[in-house]
Amino acid sequence: MERLTLIGMPGSGKSAIGRTVAARLGWEFIDTDHCIEQRFGKKLQAVVDELNAEEFRRVEEETVLALSPDGHAVISTGGSVVYSEPAMHHLASISTIVFLALPVQKLYERIASEAPRGIVGMSEGGLDELYERRFALYQKHAHHVILLNDETLEEAATRVLSQCRLASHH
C-alpha cells in the first residue's frame, strides 16, 4: 500500500518520524492535528481548550474521514483517533497502520520536555492510565507495531521503513 498512517501516544514521535519517513520516500506528509488547526484557524491546544473531549474526538473523526490523499502519503494522527472505529476503519482502508510504541517512562520524559499540552482523555489517572486504556486499541488497529525506546529520529524512521518493507530514496 502506498500510504502509511502512524498512530500512538502523544509524544511518541508520530509527526517527527512521519515527516522524516515522508521526506525519505518523497511522499506527501499529512498531520491530522495540523488539518484541525487549519480548519479552526488556531493552534491545536486552543481547539482542545475550546471543545470538550467528546466534541474534539468528533472533529478528529471528521478530519480523518475526510482524508483521501492522492497517491503516496504518510499520515500522522492525533493520539485519540483510536477511539473512533469509523476513523480507524477508514485509515485501514486507505493505508498501512503503524503503531509507534514507546515505554510510558519515555513518554513522560518527552511530554515533560515540551510545553504543556492538553492531552485529550487525560484525567486524574494521568498518563499511565491513558496508556493502559489506549495500548490495546493501538495494537488492535495496527498492521505493524514498532517498539521504540532510545532511537534517534533517523533510526526510528529507518525502523518504520524496514518493518513496512519500504525502500527510501536515500
H/E run at residue 31:
strand 28-31
Q: How far apart are CA 67 and CA 134, in angstroms?
A: 23
| pLDDT score of 128 | 84
| C-alpha cell recorded at residue 109 | 520524559
| pLDDT score of 11 | 87
| Binding region for ATP | 11-16, 117
Q: How far apart are CA 58 and CA 15, in angstroms?
A: 21
| pLDDT score of 66 | 96
Determine, yes or no, domain membership for 168. no
Q: Residue with C-alpha cell 479552526?
A: 40
Return the DSSP state at 123. Answer: -
Determine, yes or no, domain membership for 63. yes
Determine, yes or no, domain membership for 72. yes
| pLDDT score of 136 | 93
**Contact 75/4 with Cβ under 8 angstroms?**
yes
Mean pLDDT by 10 residues, the chain (170 residues): 91 94 97 96 92 92 94 94 96 97 87 62 71 92 95 95 78
Phi, psi of 74 (to 5 degrees): -110, 125
Q: How far apart are CA 146 and CA 88, in angstroms?
A: 18
| pLDDT score of 121 | 60
| pLDDT score of 113 | 61
User: The domain containing residue 156 runs over which residues?
Assistant: 3-163
| Binding region for substrate | 33, 57, 79, 134
Determine, yes or no, domain membership for 58. yes
Q: How many domains does the chain have?
A: 1
| Binding region for Mg(2+) | 15
Determine, yes or no, domain membership for 128. yes
| pLDDT score of 67 | 95
What's the pTM? 0.91
Question: What CATH number should be reported for the domain holding residue 89?
Answer: 3.40.50.300
Determine, yes or no, domain membership for 50. yes
| Binding region | 11-16, 33, 57, 79, 117, 134
Determine, yes or no, domain membership for 67. yes
Determine, yes or no, domain membership for 169. no
| pLDDT score of 124 | 54
